[in-house]
Amino acid sequence: MSISRDQVVSIHYTLTDDAGEVIDASTAGEPFAYLHGHGNLIPGLERELTGRNAGERLQVKVSPADGYGEYDGKLVQRVPRRALQGVPEVKLGMRLQAHTAEGPRTLTVTHLAGDMVTLDGNHPLAGRTLNFAVEIAAVRAATGEELAHGHVHGAGGHHH
Ligand code: ZN
């Protein structure tokens, strides 16, 4: 069965940056399962997996535009600490949920200087070229319930 929309695909993957540094990987012996064609993977990787079969291995290079987006300097802001009410201790690398005109957004604390806090609304992998080494472990048809929910149930998937 080759990979197409509405199938559950299980993959082993390792994600590295252009310097060869490992950013993320599936757990050893436990492939990551997702529902194909429902926006559960970044577009550049999902596109390359379409039409492939279980047992195949592939290397996929994903540009920022096909991954987590280009880095947008306009999403970076500096605010005084007192603007962060309800956050008892602001720390570097901390992630905060903010409500913006475009909906909820995760902001990362990227710099602290005196009373000023720098908040970055970009995804941590925005602007990065992503190199995936993928092995397709299994491909199966999704159940009706999985299609209704838009995600995978059972091993390697989402549990309720
Ligand atoms: Zn569900």
Q: Does the structural domain 7-68+126-149 have CATH classification 3.30.830.10?
A: no
The position carrying tokens 């199966």 is 140
Give the per-residue pLDDT at 14.
Answer: 97
CATH number of 73-120: 2.40.10.330
For 30-75, the pLDDT digits (tens) are: 999 999 999 999 999 999 999 999 999 999 999 999 999 999 999 9
Which of 37, 45, 48 lies closest to 130, judged by CA?
A: 45
Q: What's the CA-to-centroid distance between 8 and ligand 1, angstroms?
A: 13
Q: What are the domain boundaries of the chain?
A: 7-68+126-149, 73-120
Backbone φ and ψ of 6, nearest 5°:
75, 20
Backbone φ and ψ of 51, nearest 5°:
90, -5
Give the per-residue pLDDT at 156.
Answer: 66
Q: What's the CA-to-centroid distance between 41 and ligand 1, angstroms?
A: 17
Q: What's the CA-to-centroid distance between 29 and ligand 1, angstroms?
A: 23
Q: What's the CA-to-centroid distance between 94 and ligand 1, angstroms?
A: 29
| The token pair that represents 135 in the structure block | 């092995």
Q: What's the CA-to-centroid distance between 21 and ligand 1, angstroms?
A: 33
Q: What's the CA-to-centroid distance between 140 and ligand 1, angstroms?
A: 17
Give the per-residue pLDDT at 140.
Answer: 96
